[in-house]
């Protein structure tokens, strides 16, 4: 029995096996939580007294914005671990996170524009939070482009890690922008240090959608990481066995398994 340690699942084989077992449950959780969150957000939560029905886009916008920032921090963390300790699995995880982080950042920007038009009367303003969120999208895309442009995986991982770590400084700017500058963007409705500024049904719907987005992010990242594992470990024996489990093994040498002298092969008598 394998003892669980800090680096137990750092081995690509064990990571591949673990994530394969988790994926069905993650997809199921994403579907159920997403359905419940959307139902509560669009049919149970009351109408906002100030913004009317337009506010309901927060049930998609806010979880997407949260995930965009958190995924960047997690991507930078794994990229730095891979860079510092030459951990292959950490670098592959960082690469797997980047496209999902870019997707949530784009979703946050698009839904923010859809929310801003009826609220502010315009689709886009060069607001501090909007601008810093746009920079976050460029950082995700820059990381993806940089790692894809370098053919050698190790050099690509190191270059991408440098960009990711430097870009982390943008995350607190996004989060605290509404406090540091006088912006159009409203302040946080949910905080760890204060009571929520919304009805209980609204809060529950937002939390359900956040959990659904987390489950979806885990599922997609694990699927992409598994594909990267198969690509980088394609020459290893366990991947070969996974691809062709019934492939015939190489025949033993004529000398037998112990390497002894080969047995003479009987010859058929010549026909007269």
Short-list 127, 114, 121, CA closest to 55:
114
User: What does the pLDDT read at residue 80?
Assistant: 96
Q: What is the DSSP string of 17-29?
A: HHHHHHHHHHHHH
pLDDT tens-digit series, residues 37-62:
999 999 999 888 788 888 899 999 99
Q: Where are the beta strands (DSSP E) in the chain?
A: none
Confidence check: pLDDT of 75 > 90: yes
Confidence check: pLDDT of 243 > 90: no
> Hey, what's the torsion of the CAs at 238, 243, 246, 247, to 10 degrees?
-80
d(CA 167, CA 98): 13
User: What does the pLDDT read at residue 185?
Assistant: 58
Confidence check: pLDDT of 148 > 50: yes
User: What does the pLDDT read at residue 199?
Assistant: 81
Domain chopping of the chain, boundaries: 11-236
State the average pLDDT over residues 73-97: 95
Confidence check: pLDDT of 13 > 80: yes
d(CA 226, CA 92): 9
State the average pLDDT over residues 127-148: 94
d(CA 164, CA 169): 10
User: Looking at per-residue confidence, does 88 or 199 come out higher?
Assistant: 88
Confidence check: pLDDT of 169 > 80: yes
- In DSSP terms, 48 is beta-bridged to 52
Identify the DSSP state of 86: -
Place of tokens 């607001």: 127
User: What does the pLDDT read at residue 101?
Assistant: 97
User: What does the pLDDT read at residue 51?
Assistant: 80
User: What does the pLDDT read at residue 52?
Assistant: 81
State the average pLDDT over residues 134-140: 96
User: What is residue 52's three-state secondary structure?
Assistant: strand
pLDDT tens-digit series, residues 205-219:
999 999 999 999 999
User: What does the pLDDT read at residue 272?
Assistant: 36
């Amino acid at each position: 029995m394998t003892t669980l340690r800090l680096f137990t699942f750092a081995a690509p084989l064990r990571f591949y096996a673990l994530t394969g077992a988790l994926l069905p449950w993650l997809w199921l959780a994403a579907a159920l939580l997403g359905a419940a969150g959307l139902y509560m957000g669009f049919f149970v939560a009351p109408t906002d007294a100030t913004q009317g029905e337009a506010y309901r886009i927060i049930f998609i916008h806010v979880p997407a914005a949260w995930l965009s920032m958190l995924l960047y921090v997690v991507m930078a963390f794994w990229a730095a671990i891979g860079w510092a300790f030459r951990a292959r699995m950490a670098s592959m995880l960082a690469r797997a996170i980047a496209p999902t982080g870019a997707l949530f950042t784009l979703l946050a920007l698009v839904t923010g524009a859809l929310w801003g038009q009826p609220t502010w009367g315009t689709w886009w303003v060069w607001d501090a939070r909007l601008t810093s969120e746009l920079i976050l999208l460029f950082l995700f895309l820059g990381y993806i482009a940089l790692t894809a442009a370098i053919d050698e995986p190790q050099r690509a991982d190191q270059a991408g890690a440098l960009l990711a770590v430097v870009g982390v400084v943008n995350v607190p700017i996004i989060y605290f922008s509404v406090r540091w500058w006088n912006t159009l963007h409203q302040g946080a409705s949910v905080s760890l240090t204060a009571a929520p500024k919304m009805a209980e049904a609204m809060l529950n719907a937002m939390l359900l959608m956040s959990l659904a987005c987390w489950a979806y992010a885990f599922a997609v990242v694990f699927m992409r990481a598994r594909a990267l594992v198969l690509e980088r470990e394609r020459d290893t024996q366990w991947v070969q066995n996974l691809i062709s489990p019934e492939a015939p093994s190489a025949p033993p040498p004529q000398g037998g398994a112990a390497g002894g002298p080969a047995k003479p092969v009987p010859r058929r008598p010549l026909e007269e």
